[in-house]
Amino acid sequence: MSASMIGMSFLVLGIVLLLGKWIRVMSPPLQRLFIPSSLIGGFLGLFLGPELLGNMVSWAGFNDSFLAGGLFPAEMFDAWATLPGLFINIIFATLFLGKKIPGIRDIWLLAGPQVAHGQTIAWGQYVFGIMVTLLILTPFFGIDPMAGALIEISFEGGHGTAAGMASTFEELGFSDAADLALGLATVGILFGVVFGIVLLNYGIRKGKTEVLTNEDHISLDERYQSGIIDFDSRESAGKITTRPESIEPLSLHFAYVGVAIGIGYLILQAFVLIEEITWGQATDVYLLSHIPLFPMAMIGGILLQLFLDRFDVHQTLDRDLMMRIQGLSLDILITSAIATLSLTVIGNNLIPFLILATVGIVWNVVAFLFLGPKMMPSYWFERSIGNFGQSMGMTASGLLLMRIADPGNRSPAMEGFGYKQLLFEPIVGGGIFTAASVPLIFYFGPLPVLIFAAVAMLFWGGLGLLYFGRK
């Protein structure tokens, strides 16, 4: 693939993303549902690609038309297909860069209930996903048992994790799982926001919210829904920490991201080497070689942040600038991942796909409605709604729902949610176990992973119900 085609692919992808934003601004229903512009742009790219437009032109008998393969060249689609696996490393490397890493005790005191609730949801997605795979999908549809991990990878991990696991699925002989995971992640985002708004209205009417009352109603002004910030209300995107004539601040922050990913790469290679010279040769089980880079990039980011907290006396890293890098990477990832989604794979596995999606949604709603009030000693609705949004595919969805439930930030939900990530993301939701779950099922079978996940779910559920819930 030529360098010019790679450059052109980025330019066209930017245009597709911009059109997605324009469609959102011009469509009040999409605004009220808070559908991200990247998701809309991804669907636009999917429609104009070979899966939809190309097939429709071929079905119409115009096989010689330049649109027979879609509006975009095949080389451009090939370039887009490589982007999710690249940008997921950037996203995970930036998760904790620029954040002050608090002590474990501080996290536990403030965010303990949200940690227990979030961990219970995540491990439950493994439990019910593997159970439905063992009982229904594998016996009746011949689906690979590794599909049992797809609910957690897609719903809790989102598009980034689903895309980042594509190479692992390919190596382990379950290549269809990548498209199924991306499809499930898309379903999760759509239903997460829709059901979240429904649950918010339900909570207000039934008096389950502590911030909003029956006299209040959910209302966000049209400007907020459109995603446009009023000119007089616009804030800085970040602080310039270095003089541009020395080094461009954005370049410096991008360099920090590169260092974090490099640290993660070295850690991963060290683990792979240890595995090769120890238990790998003895057992012929090479688990770590199938783990993708992105969870280690997150660990690299945490280690780099701890180093900077101690030695960077000039405080050259700004969290807001790092968030802009993360946001750009996430938009590119979602747009390119959905645009290159294989509808053929989903169509060939439609019933298993719908079963997995239904099981994941039902479990998340049940965990919110029935476990949330029993695990949270105070402000259960405001705290749990954030975990619900995140468990359906995006941290941003959780933050949005918390903002609507607590517009004045009067509850500890938002601060606790931020702290929760430090004891959550390194393990599940794209963390170490998420990355290892598929190789674990491949090498040891689904039953041991099911037992382990069930024990973890019961542990965190019991901690939430019997310890935090009684406070």
Rounded CA separation 456/445 (Å): 18
- Token pair of 190 as six digits: 């759509």
**Could you tell me the sign of the dihedral formed by the alpha carbons of 223, 227, 228, 230, in that order?**
positive
Residue 437 neighbours by CB distance under 10 Å: 25
**What is the arithmetic mean of pLDDT over 297-304?**
94
Give pLDDT, residue 234: 79
Return the CA Rg of the chain.
Answer: 22
Q: What is the tens place of the pLDDT at every residue in 117-134?
A: 999 999 999 999 999 999
**What are the sequence ranges of the domains in the chain?**
1-72, 85-218+246-332+343-471
Give pLDDT, residue 225: 65
Higher pLDDT residue, 288 or 271? 271
Q: What is the tens place of the pLDDT at every residue in 185-231?
A: 999 988 888 888 888 888 888 888 887 666 555 555 555 666 677 77
Give pLDDT, residue 435: 92
- Token pair of 432 as six digits: 């170490």
Higher pLDDT residue, 382 or 35? 382
Residue 444 neighbours by CB distance under 10 Å: 13
Instruction: Say yes or no to pLDDT of 256 above 80.
Output: yes
Give pLDDT, residue 429: 87
Give pLDDT, residue 209: 82
**Whole-prediction pTM value?**
0.87
Rounded CA separation 375/284 (Å): 43
**What is the arithmetic mean of pLDDT over 380-409?**
84
Find out whether 99 and 447 touch, Cβ atoms under 8 Å.
Answer: no
Rounded CA separation 161/328 (Å): 16
Beta-carbon contacts of 180 under 8 Å, excluding residues fewer than 6 positions away, are: 147, 150, 154, 345, 346, 349, 352, 353, 356
Rounded CA separation 429/155 (Å): 8
Q: What percentage of the chain reaches a pLDDT higher than 70?
A: 94
Beta-carbon contacts of 267 under 8 Å, excluding residues fewer than 6 positions away, are: 296, 299, 300
